[in-house]
């Protein structure tokens, strides 16, 4: 047991010694690297630590302190890096942009974009103006036709009996109000008719009585008998016929109470029927209901009495008119929609129950400041448009958008009437703007990213016009790798002739990735003439991955052209 403990102790001691040697060497190499950067001016170092100029005087402002071996680690005070022990290096406010590691950006930013007329034509840029227009919001939904529940009649009898003759003997038969449905023999109805005739005779006999009470009593008995027949749905005309003929009718005819179609029938000849039996159901289709589901975002645009139109596939080109008659008090929790009901006249019976329609509800919104809806770039976190500040100059601007209607979108804040905005290819401009903001410290120019190697327009402040050179970039090895690489740039004029005595700069950059704790990275090199029109230099990449490459060519201080491309460095 003791020997095992000694063995464990020896292993731990060796591990500590190895770790100490490793970190000591790491710190030494880091310090050597800093010293080398100071001596050489940091022109080609990966992280570009720039020493104070010998001619500089006075106290320099320190922004923060960072680990030269891991620039993503930053501190507000001097000290040593916690993992390697390397002394932290100050980042000065007056240092060159390449010498100060970028802090991870808080959010996506945008930068202005400059495009030449040729570039605008190439990517299809079009513009429109912010203006006041009378908007009308159109809500579209799928409608479903159903019967009007207030136009349904249920036929019952109020006394038991036997159905004798049935006139309406199939479902969906059309009937008119007052059409005979069937005849019924009921002993109760027969006896009540007999009572009616007796009451009629009693009134005639006792009506001339010298006693007023006797005369009034005979009249009351007659009215009570008539009322009982009426309560059993015997019509006044039928009662009058019984009194006129003085004959008891063995059967009585039951008539349709409304005009419509028989949708249910439960009466057959020679069958016994009771008051509980629903003999017929008759539906009036001269007006129908139409249901539709409205999205939650459009609820505020719907109101009672609102005009509605509907079209059907059965009758192309025919527009039907209706009104909103009811709005449900709650949403459907599954579809998150609100159900509404509309009344549609249907005298010609073209709308059939269970038919589907296309419904439109129109809501006037008044005059609003709008732009074409294609002008808005909505990232989810912010809404913006690209404003035409000058010919070929597009500036991103945050706006607050409102309702969409008629191919336009309301701008509640951020624009004025008359301002021009980009209406197509704005997503390409948006991507370029974000790229320029991420690489804002780099001399990238202001042209559109050239994926095919064509030179872009000159930077802001240079004379506009066409680029004067063609640029070809390559590296050895190809693709480049983490570590030292040889770079070659061939510069020719538009006729293909070599361009001598040019100043060629190549910049490799990688945006910050805050989620991974990585700051923005940048390496640059100035290439020297190697032969006619060919320039050569060396550049060290600190890591593999996707790098944005910008090649800038100048001569005598004048901009000749630039090229932007993306390369993937290998380990």
Q: Would you put residue 235 in left (φ > 0), alpha (ψ -120 to 50) or beta?
A: beta
pLDDT in tens, 131-187: 999 999 999 999 999 999 999 999 999 889 999 999 999 999 999 999 999 999 999
Report the distance separating Cα 37 and Cα 34, nearest Å: 5
Q: Residue range 416-428: average pLDDT?
A: 88
For residue 516, the model assigns a pLDDT of: 56
Q: Residue 450 — pLDDT band, cuts 50, 70, 90?
A: very low
518 lies in the same domain as 452:
yes
pLDDT in tens, 321-368: 999 999 999 999 999 999 999 999 999 999 999 999 999 999 998 999
Report the distance separating Cα 520 and Cα 317, nearest Å: 61
- Tell me how many domains the chain contains: 5
Q: For the chain, what is the mean pLDDT? A: 79
198 lies in the same domain as 320:
no
For residue 547, the model assigns a pLDDT of: 85
Residue finishing a domain among 298, 323, 355: 355
388 lies in the same domain as 469:
no
Domain interval for residue 68: 2-99
- Tell me whether residue 62 is in a domain: yes
Q: Do you find a cis peptide bond into 250, omega within 30 degrees of 0? A: no
396 lies in the same domain as 323:
no
> Which residues are within 8 A (CB) of 127 and not within 5 positions of it... i.e. 6 or more apart?
388, 420, 421, 422, 423
More confident position, 267 or 378: 267
Highest mean pLDDT out of 221-235, 236-250, 328-342: 328-342
For residue 238, the model assigns a pLDDT of: 87
For residue 462, the model assigns a pLDDT of: 40
403 lies in the same domain as 327:
no
459-481 burial string, b = 16+ CB within 10 Å, else e? Answer: eeeeeeeebbbbbebebeeeebe
Strands 174-175 and 260-265: antiparallel
Residue finishing a domain among 327, 355, 383: 355
Report the distance separating Cα 260 and Cα 257, nearest Å: 10
Report the distance separating Cα 389 and Cα 14, nearest Å: 68
For residue 218, the model assigns a pLDDT of: 66
For residue 391, the model assigns a pLDDT of: 85
pLDDT in tens, 4-53: 444 445 444 444 544 454 444 444 444 444 334 433 333 333 333 333 44
pLDDT exceeds 80 at position 415: yes
The percentage of the chain sitting over the pLDDT mark of 70, rounded to a whole number, equals 74
Residue appearing with tokens 């942009």: 97
Report the distance separating Cα 312 and Cα 144, nearest Å: 11
More confident position, 213 or 488: 488
Q: Residue range 218-226: average pLDDT?
A: 80
For residue 15, the model assigns a pLDDT of: 47
What residues pair up with 567 in beta bridges, in sequence order? 547
CATH of residue 260's domain is: 2.40.50.100
For residue 455, the model assigns a pLDDT of: 43
- Tell me whether residue 293 is in a domain: yes
Q: Residue 86 — pLDDT band, cuts 50, 70, 90?
A: low
pLDDT in tens, 519-541: 778 899 999 998 889 999 999 99
417 lies in the same domain as 455:
no
Q: Residue range 551-569: average pLDDT?
A: 87
- Tell me whether residue 106 is in a domain: no
Residue finishing a domain among 322, 355, 388: 355
Q: Residue range 242-269: average pLDDT?
A: 92
For residue 70, the model assigns a pLDDT of: 59
For residue 568, the model assigns a pLDDT of: 87
Q: Residue 274 — pLDDT band, cuts 50, 70, 90?
A: very high
Report the distance separating Cα 280 and Cα 267, nearest Å: 8
- Tell me whether residue 143 is in a domain: no
3-state secondary structure of 407: coil
174 lies in the same domain as 242:
yes
CATH of residue 534's domain is: 2.60.40.1940
296 lies in the same domain as 349:
yes
Q: Residue 451 — pLDDT band, cuts 50, 70, 90?
A: very low
314-348 burial string, b = 16+ CB within 10 Å, else e? Answer: eeeeeebebebbeeeeeeeeeeebbbbbbbbebee
What backbone phi and psi angles, to 5 degrees, belong to 324?
Answer: -75, 125
For the sheet with 62-67, list strands across it.
70-75, 62-67, 89-92
560 lies in the same domain as 504:
yes
CATH of residue 376's domain is: 2.40.420.20
Spatial contact of 339 and 328, defined as CB atoms under 8 Å apart:
yes
Strands 400-405 and 408-413: antiparallel
Could you tell me the CA-to-CA distances from 147 to 266, 284, 329 in Å, in that order?
21, 8, 21
Q: Residue 444 — pLDDT band, cuts 50, 70, 90?
A: very low
Strands 307-311 and 503-510: unpaired
349 lies in the same domain as 420:
no
What residues pair up with 207 in beta bridges, in sequence order? none
215 lies in the same domain as 262:
yes
Report the distance separating Cα 387 and Cα 389, nearest Å: 6
Residue appearing with tokens 């005595």: 501
pLDDT in tens, 358-407: 999 999 989 999 999 999 988 777 899 999 988 888 888 999 999 888 88
How is residue 195 annotated by DSSP?
H
267 lies in the same domain as 183:
yes
For residue 24, the model assigns a pLDDT of: 45
**Six token digits for residue 445:** 């120019």
- Tell me whether residue 69 is in a domain: yes
Spatial contact of 262 and 172, defined as CB atoms under 8 Å apart:
yes
Report the range of poorest mean pLDDT among 80-84, 145-149, 320-324, 489-493: 80-84
CATH of residue 328's domain is: 2.40.30.170
- Tell me whether residue 480 is in a domain: yes
Q: Residue range 452-477: average pLDDT?
A: 59
For residue 110, the model assigns a pLDDT of: 64
pLDDT in tens, 305-329: 999 999 999 999 999 999 999 999 9
Report the distance separating Cα 184 and Cα 269, nearest Å: 9
- Tell me whether residue 104 is in a domain: no
- Tell me whether residue 471 is in a domain: yes
**Six token digits for residue 91:** 């980042």
Element (H, E) at 119: helix 117-123
């Amino acid at each position: 047991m003791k020997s095992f403990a000694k063995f464990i102790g020896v292993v731990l001691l060796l591990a500590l010694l190895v770790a100490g040697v490793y970190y000591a060497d790491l710190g030494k190499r880091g310090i050597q690297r800093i010293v080398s950067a100071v001596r050489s001016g940091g022109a080609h170092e990966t992280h570009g630590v720039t020493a104070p100029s010998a001619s500089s005087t006075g106290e320099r402002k320190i922004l923060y302190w960072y680990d030269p071996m891991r620039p993503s680690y930053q501190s507000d005070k001097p000290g040593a890096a916690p993992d390697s022990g390397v002394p932290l290096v100050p980042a000065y406010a007056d240092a060159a942009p390449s010498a100060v590691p970028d802090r991870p950006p808080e959010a996506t930013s945008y930068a202005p974009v400059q495009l030449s007329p040729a570039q605008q034509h190439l990517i299809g840029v079009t513009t429109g103006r912010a203006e006041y227009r009378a908007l009308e919001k159109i809500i579209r939904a799928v409608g479903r036709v159903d019967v009007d529940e207030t136009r349904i009649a249920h036929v019952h009898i109020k006394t038991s009996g036997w159905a004798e003759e049935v006139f309406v003997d199939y479902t969906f038969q059309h009937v008119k109000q007052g059409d005979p449905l069937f005849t019924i023999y009921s002993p109760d109805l027969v006896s009540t008719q007999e009572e009616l005739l007796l009451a009629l005779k009693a009134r005639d006999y006792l009506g001339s009585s010298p006693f007023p009470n006797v005369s009034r009593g005979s009249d009351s008995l007659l009215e009570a008998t008539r009322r009982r027949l009426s309560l059993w749905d015997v019509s006044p005309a039928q009662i009058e016929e019984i009194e006129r003929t003085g004959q008891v009718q063995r059967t009585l005819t039951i008539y349709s109470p409304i005009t419509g179609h028989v949708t249910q029938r439960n009466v057959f000849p020679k069958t016994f029927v009771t008051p509980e039996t629903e003999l017929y159901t008759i539906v009036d289709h001269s007006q129908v209901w139409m249901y539709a589901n409205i999205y939650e975002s459009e609820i505020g645009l719907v109101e009672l009495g609102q005009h509605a139109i509907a079209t059907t596939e059965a009758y192309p080109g025919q527009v039907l008119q209706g009104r909103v008659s009811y709005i449900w008090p709650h949403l459907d929790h599954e579809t998150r929609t609100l159900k509404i009901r509309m009344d549609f006249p249907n005298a010609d019976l073209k709308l059939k129950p269970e038919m589907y329609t296309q419904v439109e509800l129109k809501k006037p919104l008044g005059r609003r400041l709008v732009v074409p809806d294609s002008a808005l770039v909505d990232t989810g976190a912010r809404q913006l448009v690209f404003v035409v500040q000058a010919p070929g100059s597009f500036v991103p601007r945050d706006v607050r958008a409102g309702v969409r209607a008629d191919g336009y979108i309301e701008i509640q804040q951020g624009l004025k009437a008359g301002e021009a905005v980009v209406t197509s290819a704005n997503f390409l401009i948006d991507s370029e703007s974000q790229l320029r903001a991420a690489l804002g410290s780099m001399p990238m120019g202001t042209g559109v990213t050239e994926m095919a190697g064509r030179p872009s327009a000159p930077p802001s402040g240079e004379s506009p016009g066409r680029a004067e050179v063609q640029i070809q970039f390559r590296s050895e090895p190809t693709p480049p790798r983490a570590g030292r690489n040889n770079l070659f740039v061939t510069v020719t004029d538009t006729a293909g002739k070599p361009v001598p005595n040019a100043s060629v700069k190549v910049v490799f950059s990688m945006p910050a990735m805050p989620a991974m704790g990585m700051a923005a990275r940048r390496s640059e090199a100035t290439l020297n003439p190697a032969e006619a029109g060919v320039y050569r230099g060396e550049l060290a990449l600190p890591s593999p991955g996707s790098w944005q490459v910008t090649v800038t060519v100048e001569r005598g201080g004048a901009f000749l052209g630039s090229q932007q491309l993306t390369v993937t460095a290998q380990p």
